[in-house]
Amino acid sequence: MRRFIILALLCALLAAPAAHAADEGPAVSIAHPDYAAIGQQFTIAVTISQAYIEASTIAVDQTVQAGWGTEEQSYFDLSAASFEIAVLTPDESLTVELVIGVRDTAPEKQFTIPLVFYGKAGECADGCVPFRTTYTAAVTTVDTGRAAAKEADALAAYGQEQYATAQRLFEEASATYALLGNEAKTTELAAYIADAEMGVEAMQRYESGQSKLAIGNKTAARADFEAASALFAQIGNTARVEELAGLIAQTQPGTETPPPDEESSSTLLYAVGAIVVVAIAAVVALGGRKGKN
């Protein structure tokens, strides 16, 4: 009986390292972008620590499964989406990068990409056990070509003084670039958005001035024209600034046409009356001459 107990204890001690490694397993953390540009690459970073493992692999799972069939996988280049680990000790931490390419044929859609991590836990010289764990990474693909097209349309609208349309298109393009973390583009477009917004206000003041000028309110019209000119100058629309300079000149004090005075009107009426009388007398005289003849 004593021999049996001692033998059982020895077996338990020998099995302890492998059981401990299998129970705890490696600690795994995964980092990935929420969005990926179609036609470009993105990276899934996997950090592994706190375990002794041998002959292990972390990779994108390419087995066919629900939501990750042959069609979904065809939208990605997975040739660099696998990494092999020969040995990793408990006091080490390893971060591997799985590089995934998004093909041009991919639609704009959220994909749930499965990852698989498998290998041997524990020192195999002392006894190790196989392990297999799975994870997922949700990534939404984004077509940056649409953002570039909107940016081009916005620039065209801006050049045609369609500032409200330009502002909207710039904002939509910027939102797409922001999803992908393209800070250079979002910073560039922020300046265009500000200019387009200023252009909207400039056109509003310009049109308001025209309406006031049409009803003869030159003082109010001049205030709108001056405000519009300052805004157009800030966004570099020199053609509008030159036009507004002429309109501002027309609305300066003293440019109003004075109404005719009564004395001038009376003089004009007398002159016209005298001309009519002379004309009638001439006609009468001519008629008398013909009668004598």
Q: Output the domain CATH number for residue 93.
A: 2.60.40.10
Q: Are 251 and 219 within 8 A, CB to CB?
A: yes
| 31 is a domain residue | yes
End residue of a domain, out of 119, 142, 165 = 142
| 292 is a domain residue | no
C-alpha to C-alpha distances, 274 to 226, 264, 269, 271, nearest whole angstrom: 50, 16, 9, 5
Please report the pLDDT score of residue 287 as a whole number: 52
Q: Are 222 and 210 within 8 A, CB to CB?
A: no
Q: Are 252 and 222 within 8 A, CB to CB?
A: yes
Domain around 92: 17-142
Residues of the chain with pLDDT > 70: what percent? 78
**Looking at the DSSP assignment, which residues form a beta bridge with residue 28?**
48
| 90 is a domain residue | yes
Q: Are both 186 and 129 inside the same structural domain?
A: no
Q: Are both 21 and 120 inside the same structural domain?
A: yes
- Specify the number of domains making up the chain: 2
Q: Are both 187 and 235 inside the same structural domain?
A: yes
**Looking at the DSSP assignment, which residues form a beta bridge with residue 98?**
44
Please report the pLDDT score of residue 123 as a whole number: 83
| 149 is a domain residue | yes
Which tokens go with 33?
A: 């972008």
Round to whole Å and give the CA distance between 116 and 132.
7
Position of tokens 């939404």? 140
Round to whole Å and give the CA distance between 1 and 21.
31
Q: Please determine, for residue 111, whether its predicted confidence score (pLDDT) is greater than 90.
A: yes
Q: Are both 136 and 149 inside the same structural domain?
A: no
Highest mean pLDDT among 12-16, 117-121, 196-200, 270-274: 196-200
Q: Are both 193 and 127 inside the same structural domain?
A: no
Round to whole Å and give the CA distance between 64 and 199.
54
3-state helix, strand, coil in the chain (%, to 5): 55, 25, 20
| 258 is a domain residue | no
Q: Are 131 and 167 within 8 A, CB to CB?
A: no
Round to whole Å and give the CA distance between 125 and 262.
123
Three-state DSSP at 260 gives coil
Q: Please determine, for residue 293, whether its predicted confidence score (pLDDT) is greater than 70.
A: no
Q: Are both 239 and 193 inside the same structural domain?
A: yes
Window from 16-25, 118-127, 147-156, 233-242 with minimum mean pLDDT: 16-25
Q: Are both 30 and 114 inside the same structural domain?
A: yes
**Residue pLDDT, tens place only, 207-223:** 999 999 999 999 999 99
Q: Are both 89 and 190 inside the same structural domain?
A: no
With CA atoms as reference, report the closest residue to 22 among 48, 52, 46, 49: 52
Round to whole Å and give the CA distance between 218 and 209.
8
Round to whole Å and give the CA distance between 72 and 78.
12
| 177 is a domain residue | yes
Q: Output the domain CATH number for residue 193.
A: 1.25.40
Q: Are both 210 and 198 inside the same structural domain?
A: yes
Q: What is the mean pLDDT of the chain?
A: 85
Please report the pLDDT score of residue 11 as a whole number: 45
**Looking at the DSSP assignment, which residues form a beta bridge with residue 205?**
none
Please report the pLDDT score of residue 280 as a whole number: 52
